[in-house]
Structure 1
Amino acid sequence: MSYRSKAFLFQHIKSILDFYEPTIIDSSGGFFQNFKDDGSVFNADRRHLVSSTRIVINYCRAYGLFGDEEFRRRAQHGLKFVEQYHWDEDRKAYNWTLSAGLPDDQANHCYGLAFVLLMYAAAYDAKVIDSSAPIEDTFALLESRFWLEDMGMYADEASADWSHLSGYRGQNANMHTCEAMLAAYEATAGEHYLNKAYSLARKFAVELADKSDGLIWEHFTQQLDIDWSYNKDDPKNLYRPWGFQPGHQTEWTKLLLNLHQHRPEQWMIDRASALFDRALDKAWDHEYGGIQYGFDPQGKICDDDKYFWVQAESFAAAARLAVATGRKSYWDWYDRIWDYADEHMIDKRYGAWFRVLDRKNTRLSDEKSTAGGKCDYHTIGACWDVLRIVQ
């Protein structure tokens, strides 16, 4: 069966959902977020805002695709948890992590708010909620707390009481905020969301990328100079890794082409193809297959592990490039990445994708999903995105 066929993509999304089906619902609220490869739950009390919102997005998209009322109920179940447990009315902020329903990290992260915005956009788009007000409310919170007008970007982190804004400036939170703005625009047709997505794309994929030879670096100083050393001693940091991230180059490819659908300008296609081409040229493993995690400023691989999300975002980017440019070579990349994923990353025994493999494609852990780290948002979302363009 062709990886491009609607039947395959629908079936693959359903197979991922089926992995979580028996145990994901916590009857006391929200979703379990930590799963072993066989589907058994561990750290049952642990909740992370990123997973809490992303799982809601998964079920909103599933409801939109399949029309199954159970998916709608699950999305509403997850929304209720975010609103009752993650949201702190007194602070007007979201709790970053929870243990047994109680906050244990209340730092404010733009990254988290980006996924709250995307969650509400997905819910409104799928008619899981009937008001767009939460989208606008979240946008207003982002603007008032994180937007840096003089820099044209969002700050990354603030203290729990909002009194202190971190000096760290990074691309990752801004990339996902761009993603959320596009989703908000598609759900509501609000031009201010599209304008914001456009400005973020220009800032990071052009202006700042031109400071690092056309590729997107992760970390910047408060003056927006490249910070080449940030987290060099912690290269596998979950949200702030060191090195050029091939998966983030290809995520920007996907976002630029999504933006191009709504406000077409040639630079978007040019930059999208350049980011993808250079990322795959550097990071594709010609010996063992798959896309490696990171390369250094000299272009040498600095982390040769294979992460699920990098493969997923990259096949979606390849599909978008194939459609946008008409070049068969991008469909070849799409099939090549899928062939690798099918052979190594997809768990044929229990379902869903393994989280991370070493260079020789050996599993590094028996943890399939972890709070904040994986809930198959990227894999479901990549299939969903390809369906949007092949349909």
Structure 2
Amino acid sequence: MVPDFQSRATLLNHIRHTRNFYDSRCVDPSGGFYHFYKDDGTVYDSRTRHLVSSTRFIFTHAMAWRQFGEAADQQRLRHGLAFLRAAHRNPATGGYAWQLDWNNGEGRVTDGTNHCYGLAFVLLAYSHALMAGEADARAWIDETFELMEQRFWDADYGLYADEASADWSTLDAYRGQNANMHACEALIAAFEATGERAFLLRAETLARNITQRQAALADNLIWEHYHADWSVDTEYNRHDKSNIFRPWGYQPGHLTEWAKLLLLLERHGDQLEGGKDWLLPRAVELFNAAMDKAWDAQHGGIYYGFGPDDSICDDLKYFWVQAESLATAALLGARTGEASYWTWYDKIWAYSWEHFVDHQYGAWYRILGADNSKLTDEKSPAGKVDYHTMGACYEVLNVLKKD
């Protein structure tokens, strides 16, 4: 039976069901969290620690502590913060290791590369920790923002660079929209946590430069990859469609995710420098483009990627694309009052409920075939802690009326 997805109780119960998959097994008493799970919750790699998972776990536990008030979530939040500070962060450089080998309390850096994408999630983690009552995180927000400004900010283009060596001596020539998108997300959270307008204005700059200026270079959509001068790089990863952080082509999930961020910015429109009138129309354009070009009318769900000619270049279905898109549909429905967006919301949810939600063990499957077939029994490899799915539910709760 399909539940009422416009019911707060449905979303709260789903968050609990998803949390239950992780909560009973995620904590490594020697430090941090386990990051790799099979469908049934079996940990299949107990030692690898990825910065993205480490920070996203902090987000999920901070949100759970604020929503449900269970002391165990506060303890997990603090456990995650301690690991982020002690294991990932390099006190000599200020950077954060991308990947670690962690064995019974002893850590070894296996990839010390500094990624702006990673720092964006560090900033997001600290921002949500502060909103969850962790006062020490206030200074860490400033520390992280200043590091991003010092090491990655390119004032000539009004965007962040992407990647630097572990010792910061080399800045890679690659530029990407994804790091800037998640930096925008984190900066909005930093503003909401601190009230400091500078964070909001930086988020506004990123949003305008990616969704307007850069989009103008790519059919008014958002291309993923760029050269050092922020000209479009149409060849980057052309033959590596499965690259987890840098796939080729247009990403429907990123179009809808940017639409969501524009709507979040609009909520603070009276404090923006450039006004808010452009935000809703642009959000509508991006969401509608994603649905028009990437919804699978035969099997349901949203494809992963499409090319400049609008052909589908990656027909797999990824969990996060569905989650971000249903959240954006709800926000657009609430903001515009148009029933069509609530129709999309219910449609994407119903598809996800049938194919992606693991009703037996909890959480969502990560990836499905074009026909929604199972491709792997790895539910949560590095990066997936269901931050997208639970985050989508929390965001929708913000616009739903009380049951």
Q: Distance in 2 between matches of 1:231 and 1:130?
A: 40
In the alignment, residue 191 of structure 2 is paired with which amino acid? Y
SS for the counterpart of 2:398 is: helix
Q: Distance in 2 between matches of 1:4 and 1:120?
A: 30
Deviates more, 1:17-26 or 1:177-186: 17-26
In the alignment, residue 188 of structure 1 is paired with which amino acid? T
Map of 1:7 onto structure 2 = 9
Map of 2:381 onto structure 1 = 370
Q: Distance in 2 between matches of 1:73 and 1:19?
A: 17
Alignment partner of 2:298 out of 287, 301, 306: 287
Is 1:383 aligned to residue 393 of structure 2? yes
Is 1:242 aligned to residue 253 of structure 2? no
Q: Distance in 1 between matches of 2:258 and 2:41?
A: 32
Structure 1 runs, 4 residues or longer, greater than 6 Å off: none
SS for the counterpart of 1:8 is: helix
* CA-to-aligned-CA distance 1:234-263 (integer Å, 9 cap, x gap): 122111110100000000000000000001
Map of 1:212 onto structure 2 = 218
* CA-to-aligned-CA distance 1:330-370 (integer Å, 9 cap, x gap): 00000000000010000112111000000111111100001
Q: Distance in 2 between matches of 1:75 and 1:390?
A: 27
Is 1:177 aligned to residue 179 of structure 2? no
In the alignment, residue 362 of structure 2 is paired with which amino acid? G
Contact 2:127 2:137 in 1 (8 A): no
In the alignment, residue 363 of structure 2 is paired with which amino acid? A
Map of 2:95 onto structure 1 = 93
Contact 1:75 1:128 in 2 (8 A): no
Q: Distance in 1 between matches of 2:361 and 2:197?
A: 43
Map of 2:77 onto structure 1 = 75
Is 1:275 aligned to residue 277 of structure 2? no
Alignment partner of 2:323 out of 307, 312, 322: 312
Q: CA deviation at 1:49?
A: 0.3
Map of 1:196 onto structure 2 = 202
In the alignment, residue 374 of structure 2 is paired with which amino acid? R
Q: Distance in 2 between matches of 1:129 and 1:337?
A: 38
Q: Distance in 2 between matches of 1:142 and 1:130?
A: 19
Q: Distance in 2 between matches of 1:131 and 1:255?
A: 23
Contact 1:146 1:154 in 2 (8 A): yes
* CA-to-aligned-CA distance 1:52-87 (integer Å, 9 cap, x gap): 000010000001110111101100001101111001
Q: Distance in 1 between matches of 2:197 and 2:296?
A: 41
SS for the counterpart of 2:256 is: helix
Contact 1:60 1:128 in 2 (8 A): no
* CA-to-aligned-CA distance 1:277-304 (integer Å, 9 cap, x gap): 0111110000000000000000010111
Map of 2:55 onto structure 1 = 53
* CA-to-aligned-CA distance 1:28-61 (integer Å, 9 cap, x gap): 0000000000000011001000000000100000
Contact 1:72 1:128 in 2 (8 A): no
Alignment partner of 1:231 out of 237, 243, 247: 237
Alignment partner of 1:37 out of 6, 25, 39: 39
In the alignment, residue 276 of structure 2 is paired with which amino acid? E
Contact 2:126 2:137 in 1 (8 A): no
Contact 1:87 1:95 in 2 (8 A): yes
In the alignment, residue 395 of structure 2 is paired with which amino acid? D
Q: How does 1:96-111 map to 2 (within 5 A)?
A: 96-100=98-102, 101-111=107-117
Identical-residue share of aligned pairs (%)? 51
Q: How does 1:127-206 map to 2 (within 5 A)?
A: 127-206=133-212
Q: Distance in 2 between matches of 1:175 and 1:32?
A: 26
Deviates more, 1:241-250 or 1:120-129: 120-129
Alignment partner of 2:336 out of 278, 303, 325: 325
Map of 2:26 onto structure 1 = 24
SS for the counterpart of 2:303 is: coil
Q: Distance in 1 between matches of 2:207 and 2:268?
A: 13
Q: Distance in 2 between matches of 1:130 and 1:137?
A: 11
* CA-to-aligned-CA distance 1:116-172 (integer Å, 9 cap, x gap): 000000000111345511111110011001000111000000011101101101100
Q: CA deviation at 1:91?
A: 2.1
CA-based RMSD of the aligned residues comes to 0.9
Residue ranges of structure 2 left out of the alignment (5+ in a row): 270-274
SS for the counterpart of 1:174 is: helix
Q: Distance in 2 between matches of 1:199 and 1:9?
A: 33
In the alignment, residue 115 of structure 1 is paired with which amino acid? F
SS for the counterpart of 1:88 is: coil
Q: CA deviation at 1:375?
A: 0.9
Q: Distance in 2 between matches of 1:150 and 1:385?
A: 34
SS for the counterpart of 2:49 is: strand
Map of 2:351 onto structure 1 = 340
